[in-house]
């Protein structure tokens, strides 16, 4: 049975390391938030970092789609794609839905009702679509093994799940002396321990952290791709979840969680500055080129949100003709800003390769 929140027996007491990690995590999150506010186009980074989080969170659960797979699908959605890519697309849809609802004056607030709808979207048309999407499980479930007797973890029986979720929802909105970052880590453990769905619990638990950072005002935009840290330390991630359930070791988990937030927030802030510097430098190269054109510059401005493009897509992005779009692509290709990736003479695809190289670190298949 999951331990009650906030932790009382034993209670959560941050040690010196935990307090230092909390300060570092809070400072790095503030720097990341500031980095997002200082650049003219925070949408670039929201687009990129949300996709990075979606890909990596899905990979933790065994999905093999890469960031390049996802972006290629978005560039040519009409082409047949894999179920793995669709799973990542569903994650993006679920997150976008939650953020819209939380911002609408009369939208659904952060609640189990919101998460149930997000789960329904997460599981739509992919593996697990027959496992009660959007509904709390009605049967006993287990993690690992072939039966509860040899399972790695056996979550609470289904009849206890509604009450446990109700308590968790109350904790989300109750006054607390705990720092919101600490609370977010506790909520993640509790959600994973309740394991309310038959499938998709891991992705939903990590999506919940993203929502909480925004809900509690720690980030204005979802710029933290924490799943990368959890993927890189996956064995420790699962071990510490088990320690909380078995021994009530909230401190070790909390230190790990705070270290992850601090590490990824620092990396994301540096990444945002590097990506913006790259785009700024490329803009100067276009402007100083003898072949510069208004359309080439307009295309460059679109690339951070469309880092893989085709000529038909450029036609749509620039609302122009195919010859004009082709000329704009040719200018950026000549400057080595765009790179043709298919080797074909027809139906070619171009990538903003240096931008992608910086962005996709850590997003290869597991």
Considering only 6-20, 89-103, 175-189, 284-298, which range has the smallest mean pLDDT? 6-20
- The per-residue pLDDT of the chain, averaged, comes to 93
Q: Which of 344, 308, 343, 305 is nearest to 329 (CA)?
A: 308
Q: How far apart are CA 90 and CA 126, in angstroms?
A: 9
Residue-wise pLDDT tens digits, 67-93: 999 999 998 887 768 999 999 999 999
Distances (CA, A) of 217 to 128, 150, 181, 211, 260: 33, 42, 10, 10, 19
Average pLDDT on 53-74 reads 93
Residue 308 sits at φ, ψ, to 5 deg, of -125, 125
Residue-wise pLDDT tens digits, 126-136: 988 999 999 99
Residue-wise pLDDT tens digits, 108-155: 999 999 999 999 999 999 988 999 999 999 999 898 888 888 888 999
% the chain with pLDDT above 70: 98
Q: Please report the pLDDT score of residue 231 as a whole number.
A: 96
Q: How many CA atoms lie within 13 A of 315 on its CB side?
A: 7
Average pLDDT on 274-297 reads 94
Q: Which residue has the higher pLDDT, 196 or 5?
A: 196
Q: Please report the pLDDT score of residue 279 as a whole number.
A: 94
Average pLDDT on 274-300 reads 94
Confidence of residue 287 (pLDDT cuts 50, 70, 90): very high
Q: Please report the pLDDT score of residue 9 as a whole number.
A: 61
Average pLDDT on 49-53 reads 95
> What residue ranges define each of the domains in the chain, with the CATH number in brackets?
16-271 (1.10.3290.10), 289-359 (1.10.10.10)
Confidence of residue 37 (pLDDT cuts 50, 70, 90): confident
Confidence of residue 250 (pLDDT cuts 50, 70, 90): very high
% the chain with pLDDT above 90: 80
Q: Please report the pLDDT score of residue 76 as a whole number.
A: 87
Contacts of the segment 278-284: beta carbons below 8 A, 24+ positions apart: 278/354, 278/355, 278/358, 279/44, 279/303, 279/304, 279/355, 282/335, 282/337
Q: Please report the pLDDT score of residue 10 as a whole number.
A: 60
Q: Please report the pLDDT score of residue 342 as a whole number.
A: 87
Residue 264 has pLDDT above 80, yes or no: yes
The secondary element (H helix, E strand) that includes residue 350 is strand 349-351
Q: Please report the pLDDT score of residue 223 as a whole number.
A: 94
The pTM of this model reads 0.93
Confidence of residue 182 (pLDDT cuts 50, 70, 90): very high
DSSP one-letter string for 169-199 = HHHHHS--SS-HHHHHHHHHHHHHHH--SSS
Q: Please report the pLDDT score of residue 366 as a whole number.
A: 59
Residue-wise pLDDT tens digits, 188-221: 999 999 999 999 999 999 999 999 999 999 999 9
């Amino acid at each position: 049975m999951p331990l009650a929140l906030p932790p009382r027996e034993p209670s959560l007491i941050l040690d010196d390391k935990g307090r230092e990690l909390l300060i570092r995590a809070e400072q790095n999150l503030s720097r990341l938030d500031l980095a997002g506010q200082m650049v003219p186009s925070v949408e670039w980074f929201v687009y990129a970092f949300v996709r990075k989080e979606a890909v990596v969170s899905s990979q933790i659960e065994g999905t093999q789609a890469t960031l390049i797979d996802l972006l290629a699908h978005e560039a040519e959605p009409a082409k047949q794609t894999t179920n793995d890519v669709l799973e990542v697309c569903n994650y993006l849809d679920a997150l976008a839905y939650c953020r819209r609802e939380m911002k609408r004056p009369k939208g659904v607030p952060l609640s189990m009702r919101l998460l149930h709808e997000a789960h329904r979207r997460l599981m739509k048309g992919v593996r697990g679509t027959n496992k009660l999407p959007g509904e709390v499980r009605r049967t006993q479930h287990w993690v690992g093994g072939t039966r509860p007797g040899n399972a790695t973890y056996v979550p609470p029986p289904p009849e206890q799940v509604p009450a446990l979720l109700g308590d968790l929802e109350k904790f989300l909105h109750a006054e607390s002396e705990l720092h919101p970052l600490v609370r977010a880590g506790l909520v993640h453990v509790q959600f994973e321990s309740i394991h309310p769905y038959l499938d998709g619990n891991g992705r939903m638990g990590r999506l919940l952290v993203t929502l909480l950072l925004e809900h509690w005002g720690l980030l204005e935009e979802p710029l933290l791709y924490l799943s990368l840290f959890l993927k890189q330390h996956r064995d420790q991630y699962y071990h510490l979840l088990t320690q909380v359930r078995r021994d009530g070791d909230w401190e070790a988990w909390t230190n790990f969680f705070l270290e992850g937030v601090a590490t990824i927030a620092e990396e994301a802030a540096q990444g945002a500055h590097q990506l913006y510097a790259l785009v700024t430098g490329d803009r100067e190269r276009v402007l100083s080129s003898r072949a510069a054109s208004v359309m080439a510059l307009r295309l460059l401005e679109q690339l951070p949100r469309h880092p893989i493009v085709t000529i038909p897509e450029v036609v749509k992005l620039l609302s122009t003709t195919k010859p004009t779009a082709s000329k704009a692509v040719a200018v950026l290709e000549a400057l080595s800003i765009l790179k043709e990736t298919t080797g074909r003479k027809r139906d070619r695809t171009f990538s903003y390769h240096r931008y992608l190289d910086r962005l996709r670190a850590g997003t290869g298949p597991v």
